[in-house]
Amino acid sequence: MSGIWGKKLELSLFGESHGDAIGITINGLPPGFEIDLDQVQVEMARRAPGSSDLTTPRKEKDLPEILSGFLDGKTTGAPLTAIIRNTNTRSKDYSLLKDVMRPGQADYPGRMRYKGHNDHRGSGHFSGRITAPIVFAGAICQQWLKQKGITVSSHIQSIGNIEDERFADQQEVTHEQAEAFKKDQLPLFDGEKKEAIRDLILEAKEEGDSVGGVVETFVLGIPAGYGNPFFDSVESTLAHLVFSVPAIKGIEFGSGFDITRMKGSEANDEYYYDENGQVKTRSNNNGGIIGGITYGMPIVFRSAVKPPASIKKKQQTINVREGKAAELEVEGRHDPCIVPRVLPVLEAVTAIALTDLILGGN
């Protein structure tokens, strides 16, 4: 089981949902970098469970304990390791699921891959809970990027069939607006859609079901010239980490699949010099990346988030111990929609990817 990623910034992820703790080791942070732990905790709280009736009632404070690589408020240059204690587990809720496979979850493929030895409690290492240490690492990277004038943010593009406006539809999105989105559980360009989205999530919860959606992530202030063609392109680096987030089933950059309906004269992002002599483009159909390299416009991409698989509605499945068909109504504490909690996770992996590229001079 591999939990290691990165080149200049190397991450090692460990732990299970119902184990003693989850955590991460970060190699490659520049020495002497001052970390605002209060701001890190703000990001952790955005992802933490039990924050409202839109999320799982499992409550975890998600307080990271830094074990190494940090002294007097600054990085030492040694590997930075942090753990997050699991304090509110109810493993008995998952006793049935050792044998009865949840549709849409990693129970069956995980059992086959690890020959039945994987920790099934709370989905073990497959759980979305393991994204908490990723948010910790991403929060540090966002602070490092912010010193360079780079802001990573996101908004809810859609929940079910309710659509927000796109980033491309806005005349201008400022760094201040991007930061304000982080303070909102349901960040939208069109705030009038908020109640409808809230009602849709609560309706699914009442039915014992779940809903998915789309998150649009954007990066402001990224200069031209980062990335590489082919294997280490900005898109491939981001996509690698985005697809490492549980429940992500698709990604598109800029205009995405809609660009296939355009002619070249429409799809091409024409260059011009602005009043400050800076190179800009009149559109951003390519999402800030051409040839795998940034061109100075905002990076924009959308991620498809599937509905949570653990639902109370009765479903058909199998009992692998008995070797026969079974019916399942999943008990326990589960999110009716993870889109609001996945926003900080997607921002975190975006910041991690860009930090790795920039540290590598790529």
Annotate 154-165 with DSSP letters as a single string.
EEEEEETTEEPP
Q: Which residues contact 95 (CB under 8 A, 6 or more apart)?
A: none
- Categorize the per-residue pLDDT at 51 as very low, low, confident or very high, splitting at 50, 70 and 90: low
Question: Is 310 labelled as part of a ligand binding site?
Answer: yes
Query: What is the average per-residue pLDDT within 115-124?
Result: 76
Question: Is 324 labelled as part of a ligand binding site?
Answer: no
Query: What is the average per-residue pLDDT within 246-253?
Result: 97
Query: What is the average per-residue pLDDT within 23-32?
Result: 97
Say yes or no to pLDDT of 58 above 70: no
Question: Is 2 labelled as part of a ligand binding site?
Answer: no
Q: Which residues contact 289 (CB under 8 A, 6 or more apart)?
A: 227, 233, 234, 235, 253, 254, 295, 299
- Categorize the per-residue pLDDT at 360 as very low, low, confident or very high, splitting at 50, 70 and 90: confident
Structure tokens at 175: 């760094």
Query: What is the average per-residue pLDDT within 301-322?
Result: 94
pLDDT value of position 122: 67
Distances (CA, A) of 39 to 22, 141, 242: 20, 12, 23
Question: Is 126 labelled as part of a ligand binding site?
Answer: yes
pLDDT value of position 59: 66
Question: Is 261 labelled as part of a ligand binding site?
Answer: no
pLDDT value of position 48: 86
- Categorize the per-residue pLDDT at 17 as very low, low, confident or very high, splitting at 50, 70 and 90: confident
Distances (CA, A) of 51 to 139, 225, 361: 19, 40, 39
Beta bridge pairs of residue 22: 15, 84
pLDDT value of position 117: 83
pLDDT value of position 275: 95
Question: Is 30 labelled as part of a ligand binding site?
Answer: no
Query: What is the average per-residue pLDDT within 43-67?
Result: 82
Better pLDDT: 94 or 103: 103
Say yes or no to pLDDT of 187 above 60: yes
- The DSSP 8-state label assigned to residue 347 in this structure reads H
pTM of the model: 0.94
Question: Is 306 labelled as part of a ligand binding site?
Answer: yes
Helix (H, G, I), strand (E, B) or coil at 293: strand
Query: What is the average per-residue pLDDT within 294-321?
Result: 95
Of the candidates 54, 334, 55, the one whose C-alpha atom is nearest the C-alpha of residue 197 is 54
Q: Which residues contact 224 (CB under 8 A, 6 or more apart)?
A: 279, 293, 294, 295, 296
What is the four-CA torsion angle of 228, 254, 257, 163, rounded to 10 degrees? 150
Question: Is 58 labelled as part of a ligand binding site?
Answer: no
Of the candidates 287, 335, 290, the one whose C-alpha atom is nearest the C-alpha of residue 310 is 335
pLDDT value of position 114: 82
CATH 3.60.150.10 applies to domain 4-359? yes
Residues 220 and 201: their CA atoms lie apart, in Å, by: 30
pLDDT exceeding 70 applies to what percent of the chain? 94
- Categorize the per-residue pLDDT at 252 as very low, low, confident or very high, splitting at 50, 70 and 90: very high
pLDDT value of position 53: 78
- The DSSP 8-state label assigned to residue 168 in this structure reads G
Question: Is 244 labelled as part of a ligand binding site?
Answer: no
Which residue type does 151 have?
Answer: T
Say yes or no to pLDDT of 90 above 70: no
Say yes or no to pLDDT of 222 above 80: yes
Say yes or no to pLDDT of 273 above 80: yes
Question: Is 68 labelled as part of a ligand binding site?
Answer: no
Question: Is 59 labelled as part of a ligand binding site?
Answer: no
